[in-house]
Amino acid sequence: MKTYFLDIPKINDMYDLSKLCNLSEYTLNKICFAKDRHYKEVAAKKNNGDTRMLAVPGFKIKTIQYWILRNILEDLPFEDCATAFKKDTNIRATLEWHVGKEFFLCLDTQLSQAEIGR
């Protein structure tokens, strides 16, 4: 079933998502509630020399994320300057929207995977 105003799949609960992703509800629940088994933490160097810990999703999580990207996010209407989910774009194209603007806000979140799961 599609929502009326965005023409995207209607997802009310885990059951709906599991059917859309072609997974059993049991499997989807197992993945969601055992996040520590489906992410690998890796250290990544930042430009300033500091290290940031990244939670890298495993194959099952990537597959679900890919389905959501292809079947929901890519179909949503975004402003031209919102480029995170657009194909064939890069950081340079994103930054060009901000050239000559009075203000520019740059954020770097510091949440761990454990904090996101709360």
Q: Output the pTM of the full model.
A: 0.61
pLDDT at 108: 64
Residues 72-107: tens digit of each pLDDT: 877 777 777 777 667 777 778 778 888 888 887 776
Distance (Å, whole) CA 22 – CA 116: 25
In the DSSP assignment, the letter for residue 63 is H
Positions of E strands within 1-118: 39-45, 51-57
Stretch (H or E) spanning 16: helix 14-20
Say whether 50 sits in a helix, a strand or coil: coil
Contact 42, 53 (CB under 8 A): yes
In the DSSP assignment, the letter for residue 31 is H
